[in-house]
Amino acid sequence: MKPDFESINVIGKNLFRNNAKMVAASEVGYRIAQEQNMIGIRVDASAGQNKLRDIATGKDFVNLCSCSYLGLNSHPAVLQGGIDALQSQGITGLAMAEYRIRLSVMEELEQELRDLFNGPVLPAISCSALTAGILPLLASGHLTDGEPMVMVFDKCAHFSMAFIKPIIADETLVLNCPHNDMMYLEEICKKYPRVAYICDGVYSVGGVADLAALLSLQERYGLFLYFDDSHSLSVEGNNGEGHIRSRLAALNDRTIIVASIAKAFGSTGGIAMLGSEKHFEFLYRAGPLGWSQSLRIAAIGTTLGSIKVHKSAELHTLQQQLTHNIALFDRQITTLQRGNGLNIKVVEVGDQGKAVHLSKALYEKGFYCSPVFFPIVGRDRAGVRLMLRGDLPAEIVQSFVDQLKDILRKMDVQH
């Protein structure tokens, strides 16, 4: 008998994602940006981030969209670290699960990371792979007492974490918390005996987690805290521990911090800072972390090279220059992130068309800032996102501010 396919409902429930809605909403802005040649720009980076060259036009410009907040992605020690590792090992990688056979250079890296951040650190091919490996096991209770945890996601938690919601929902209850709403979170903690909160330390469009309130909830209710602090690693802390870790005396066994080492750290891959040795041993073979995709030798080497910079006085020099650049910008341009001490700024202009226009006008003056719009930011809050860096001379920052102010004035936008 022929099946009646017409009567079968194959549409998802859309409880945690809705591609039909989100893609349609976001593609409008991307099409505008594409038409104005503000995405897909191909460049020659041999002269550095402060003088990228557009291959198509020959135009030189400063990259204010890079997440390499200290410029370590071009630091000689970082580059040489990758070269040295490849030459000494004579192999790009073992191409197998790390828990079966581990290169001694990986153990060296783990020890160096442990010393740098004062506790067990699990490296992986990416921060997203760490999240995909850890969160489902946290949800099922395998990092705590074996009983499922109610998983509460901050509304603004990065897409790399929100992406895992449908998988987690197969294990336990998943809830969405209004951004930084600690009253809502406390009510959940009162209702359920086991709760985990998933959020960013520093958010990709500005702002930070309410750490003091979260630690208070952890102390009172045993709240498990899972932070993605990719945007502050290296930028903050005596050893570049990041926003969250630098504010904690130690990590306990109910706190995990994951971070990309492909941003300010200047290498490639991700790390998970753990408060438990048991978690370290267990997570090595968990989900994507147990697949044949360990850090490649070059990445191990560049990470070791970056650690050398992190242990030197140069780290603080770069951090101080970044702080100076942030203050210089904030004195002259008003944003929602003004005065928070963070280097991610969003200059809002309202709609997608204006955001792309501002991005293009800045590019014509020699500065690239990416236009951002829904769903990256809220509806009617489109603008350009810029990342200040510690390897940017103050003169370049001031020149950028002057151009930005002039363009905003011509657009009749107040900042």
Q: How much is the average pLDDT of 351-358?
A: 90
CATH topology classification for 5-65+313-410? Aspartate Aminotransferase, domain 1 (3.90.1150)
**Alpha-carbon distances of 138 from 72, 142, 220, 329, rounded to whole Å:** 33, 6, 20, 40
Cβ neighbours of residue 333 under 8 Å, at least 6 residues apart?
A: 345, 347, 401, 404, 405, 415
Q: What is the pLDDT of residues 92-123, one digit of tens each?
A: 998 888 878 888 999 999 999 999 999 999 99
What local confidence, expressed as pLDDT, does residue 3 receive?
62
On the question of pLDDT at 5 being above 60, the answer is no
Annotated domain spans of the chain: 5-65+313-410, 76-310
Cβ–Cβ under 8 Å, residues 411 and 351: no
Q: Give me the percent of the chain exceeding a pLDDT of 90.
A: 76
Residue 7 pLDDT: 59
Residue 274 clears pLDDT 90, i.e. is over it? yes
Q: How far apart are CA 265 and CA 73, in angstroms?
A: 8
Architecture label for domain 76-310: 3-Layer(aba) Sandwich (3.40)
| Mean pLDDT within 333-337 | 93
pLDDT, the chain, mean = 92
Per-residue pLDDT averaged across 148-152, rounded? 98
pLDDT in tens, 359-376: 999 999 999 999 888 777
Would you state the torsion angle of the CA atoms of residues 400, 62, 348, 16, taken in this order, to the nearest 10 degrees? -160
Whole-angstrom Cα distance, residue 225 to residue 299? 28
Q: How many H helices and E strands in the chain?
A: 13, 14
Radius of gyration for the chain, computed over Cα atoms and rounded to the nearest angstrom: 22
Question: Is 195 strand, coil or helix?
Answer: strand
* pLDDT band with cut points at 50, 70 and 90 for residue 10: low
* For residue 17, pLDDT beyond 70: yes
76-310 has the same fold as 5-65+313-410: no
Count of CB atoms within 10 A of residue 89's CB?
17
pLDDT per position as a tens digit, 196-231: 999 999 998 888 999 999 999 999 999 999 999 999
What pLDDT, on the 0 to 100 scale, is given for residue 180?
97
Residue 8 in this model has a pLDDT that exceeds 90:
no
